[in-house]
Each structure stands twice: as C-alpha cells, then as structure tokens.
Amino acid sequence: MDVQTWTLTLVVITFLLYIGIAIWSRAGSTRDFYVAGGGVHPLANGLATAADWMSAASFLGMAGLISINGYDGSVYLMGWTGGYVLLALLLAPYLRKFGKFTVPDFIGDRYYSNVARTVAVFCALLVSFTYVAGQMRGVGLVFSRFLEVPINTGVIIGMIIVLFYAVLGGMKGITYTQVAQYCVLIFAFMVPAIFISIQMTGNPIPQLGMGSMVLGEEVSLLDKLDGLSRDLGFHLYTEGSKPMIDVFFITAALMVGTAGLPHVIVRFFTVPKVRDARKSAGYALLFIAVLYTTAPAVAVFARTNLIETVSNKPYEDMPEWFSKWETTGLIRFDDKNSDGRVQYVADPDINELTVDPDITVLANPEIARLPNWVIALVAAGGLAAALSTAAGLLLVISTSISHDLIKKQLRPNISDKGELIIARLSAVVAVCIAGYFGINPPDFVAATVALAFGLAAASFFPAIILGIFYKKMNKEGAIAGMLVGIVIMSIYMLKFKFDLFGGGTQEDWWFGISPEGFGTVAMLLNFAVSIIVSRFTPNPPAGVQNIVEHIRIPSGAGDAQAH
C-alpha cells in the first residue's frame, strides 16, 4: 500500500477507537464531565496526563526546534521537563488536597473573591486558546501532507473529531481516550527513531545512537553534524548562539508556565486520593521521559539526513518526499541564482531553501526511506498528540465558562443537567474559535505553545504558589498581581509577535529577552506587585488562613476527598 492508503487506514482505525471510547465512557454528570468522577486509577491517570502533556508541540514541534536550532532548541526540552517536575512535586498534591475542580475555582475560593475568580477565568481562557492554536495547526499539518488536503481542511476535520469525544465524554471520555492516544503517539515516535538509529549508527537505542559512530565512517554522528553545519555557514549544532540571559528566561518561563497550566493541573483531581495524585505524577513523568529523551536523537537524525539529502543537489533530482511537502508550502525552494541546484546555507541572501521546523518529525521517516507503514504511523501519532491536548484544553475552556463563570457567579442555582448543557455548548464555541486560530496561527507549533506557557507563568503561577505557601496573601494582592502579569505579557507578545503597537525587531527586545522568555519577567512583576499590595491591605480572613495551613499538612492526606 502507498503512504496515503496506509495513513488513511491507521487514522480511521485510531479515530474509531477514540470515538468508541468516548461513547463507552460518556459523562452522565458534571462530576464525570469535570473530573471523570474522581475515580481514575493512578496508572491510567499517569498515561492520560502524559498524553495531555505531550502535545503537538512535544511530538512535532520540539524535535523540529532542536533540529533547526541545535543547542539553542534545548531550552524547550529543559524547560518543559523541569516544569513538569515542578508541577508534580510542588503544586499538584496541595491543589488536590484543596479539592477544587479547576484553577479558577481554587483562586476564587482561596482568595475569597469572585473578582479573583473572574480574572482567573479570563487568564485560563487566554492561555488555553493560545495553546490550542498550536494543537490545531499540528492537526492541519498532518492532514495536509498525508491525506493531501489543504491545511484549513485538516484543521476542520480535527475540530469535528475532538468536538465529538470532548463534548460527549467530558473529562471521563477524554481520560480514557488519552490513555489510548499515549500508546499510539509513543509507539509512533519510537518506531521510526529506532529504525533510523540502526540505519545510521547500528545502535537500536536512539538516545545512545545520537552519540555513536556513523556506520562506515570514522566520525561520531554529532561531530559529523557539526561539520556539515560549519560547511554551510550555520553555527555549530552542539554550540549555542542565544544570549545566556534569553536561554535562562525562556527555560524559566517554560518551567513555571507548566506549573500554571490549567489543563494539566486538573488531571490531578481525577484520582480518588491525594496519595494517588502523587503516584500518577510519578507515572506520568516516566511516560513523558520516554519521548523527551528521544526527541534530541530524532532531531539529530533528521537534521543530518536533511542536509545530506538536499544541500547542493540538483532540484530535478529531489526525491518524491520533497515535492510532496512542497505542495503544503512547508518547504520552499527559490532558485535565486538559476543554476537548478538547491543552496541550503545560513546566509539569507544566498539560501534558497526554507524549511518549516514543524515538518521535521513528520518528514524524517520519508527522508530516511523507511517503509510506508512507518511513515503513516508517525502521522497517526502526530494526530494523537495534537488531539489529546486539544481535548484537555477545550475541557478547561468549557469548564471555566460553565462552572467558574455561570455556576459560581451568574446562576448559582442552576441544575446539574443545565450546567452540563452549558459546558457542552461552551465546548462547541471553543472548538470553533480554536479552529480559527489553528487556521491563522501566530507562529509555528512549538513557538505558539511557548507563548501560552509565558501567559500561564505571568498570570497563574504566583497566585497558586503564594496561595499555597503564604497564608497572608490576600485577594487584593492576588488580583493586582495577575492583572499586571497578564497585561504586560500580552502587550509584549502582541508587540513582538503580532507587530501591534508599532511592532519591533529583535534589537528592540527588552533586556535582550525574547517573547517566549518574557513570561519570566512578567511573573517576577506579578510576585512583586502581589506581595507589595498584600502588605498594604487587610490580611485574609482567619478561616482562609486555616485552610492554607491545612492543605500543607500531609497527615491524613490520603483521606482527603474532592468536594
């Protein structure tokens, strides 16, 4: 079978599996819809959390960024890995013991204020919509290449599928769908990595193959890639070119942004006990590590193969995969000197090849001439990664509206059935908006997602940390801090990513910090404003301070139940 037939077959099989699971586990109550009834086994929750966490940015974008940027791209690997550890150890158990469904719910109750809850809802929606734009773009990328439809059509297909199982199943359906999606995406990521590692180095373990000797050559793979990069004028693959301050701030923004992501935090409310939240966090870290330790190897394999396949080769001799990806517009050749050869070099005045980082993982098996079924498997894995996270994000959006806005503030007497209807209608509207952003994204997948992490770092992280560990943090401080953080991060992002407010170039970055790293600056401002304002305003009520003391006490934690 050809690639398109294999892809269609695997996509149909996996989509039927996801839809079947959604029908089997459909939500019958708001508790099922929001937290899967609170009865998910830690192992299943660990798998689901890993799938929720490893979005299109992890599956498609991260290896692409590392492949194109080399050492500089490793900030995403370090930031996202460290961020999950921070979330699992520092926040998840305490939030689970507090016993609320959502982050806005925690902030609203901890800061005894509907104004704080509303600000948190706004921040959750902004973070989630920015994040989901990257997922929908990932879906469009896969469909556009492997089913040979326009990217916009691919986004619409993905919208329909994710809408079905997110709206029908809620968190219950999403959880068990994500267990299946993790199995699909990790198998799809590892199989081609193992194939190519054996092909290039003879070592079946990609993590070791990356540093092994190239078959038939007296040079290690990394040294070979450094040499190829140097010859084409690129900086050495294993050396960085970013200012160290930007590396530090991007890594920090990704770490603390992770700890403020509503769609990941809510996963820890789906298990019966606090002890189970800790267990599921540990399981998820193991499952995440499988992909995250493999991504750098995939990046090295892909970069080496790409350079050797296309650089200074006649355009007419380009393999079939090149022309197929050209039709998507994600790889472009502009014969500037009209010599019919592809010049892929660092100098922008001479370079004739433009490669979108998001195609790295998807095109890698084709460049390496792997079997058609492996190429199709990667497509199915990319869809699983994008759809699993998109579903989690859509649930956060619908929950923020139905539970935190409608139930908690506008219509507190609404019935369980009415709240469930509003949650599902909110998901429908959210999918439509997400689709628009998927068709008109601000950047490639991983960079778009990085902006979402910056927004989460700027808004939620200080409010959550101070809410858990500083019992005298009051509502005035929290509200002021969140507003300052989200506003300044949004302005910086709009100025340098969307060219609003007069636009700006890299030379205009404040302190040399990129938009992806500016979330750290906004977070520090949030902390400073929160603490200063709280010092000059009344302490929170004694009851709230007692609750803060209680959630930090581990004794009896195993019996804490969500309420």
Distance CA(417)–CA(360), nearest Å, equals 45
End-to-end CA gap in the chain? 53
Q: How many CB atoms lie within 10 A of CB 494?
A: 15
Distance CA(287)–CA(215), nearest Å, equals 30
- Name residue 549's beta-bridge partners: none
pLDDT at 559: 46
Q: How many CB atoms lie within 10 A of CB 541?
A: 11
What is each CA distance from 380 to 35, 146, 377, in whole angstroms? 27, 10, 5
Which among 125, 126, 129, 91 is positioned nearest to 110, based on CA atoms?
A: 91
pLDDT at 26: 66
Task: Please give the full DSSP string across 517-553, using - where no structure is assigned.
Answer: THHHHHHHHHHHHHHHHHHTSPPPPHHHHHHHHHHT-
Architecture of domain 3-555: Up-down Bundle (1.20)
The answer to whether 476 and 533 are in contact (CB under 8 A) is yes
pLDDT at 522: 93
pLDDT at 477: 94
Residue reference for tokens 């068709």? 439
Distance CA(43)–CA(196), nearest Å, equals 31
- Name residue 341's beta-bridge partners: 314
Tens of pLDDT, residue by residue, the chain (563 residues): 777 788 888 888 887 887 787 777 666 666 666 665 567 888 988 888 888 777 776 777 788 888 888 888 888 888 888 888 887 777 877 877 777 667 788 888 889 888 888 888 888 887 777 777 777 777 777 777 777 777 788 888 878 877 776 666 666 777 788 888 888 889 989 999 999 999 999 999 999 999 899 998 889 999 999 999 998 888 888 887 788 888 889 899 888 887 767 777 777 777 787 788 778 888 888 998 898 899 999 999 999 998 988 888 898 888 888 888 888 777 888 888 888 898 888 888 888 888 887 777 888 888 888 888 888 888 888 877 777 777 777 777 887 888 778 888 888 888 878 887 888 888 888 888 878 877 776 555 555 666 777 888 888 889 989 998 898 899 999 999 999 999 998 888 888 877 776 666 777 888 888 888 898 999 999 999 999 999 999 999 998 888 888 877 754 444 444 44
pLDDT at 558: 46
Containing 440, the helix (H) or strand (E) segment is none
- Name residue 220's beta-bridge partners: 213
pLDDT at 91: 80
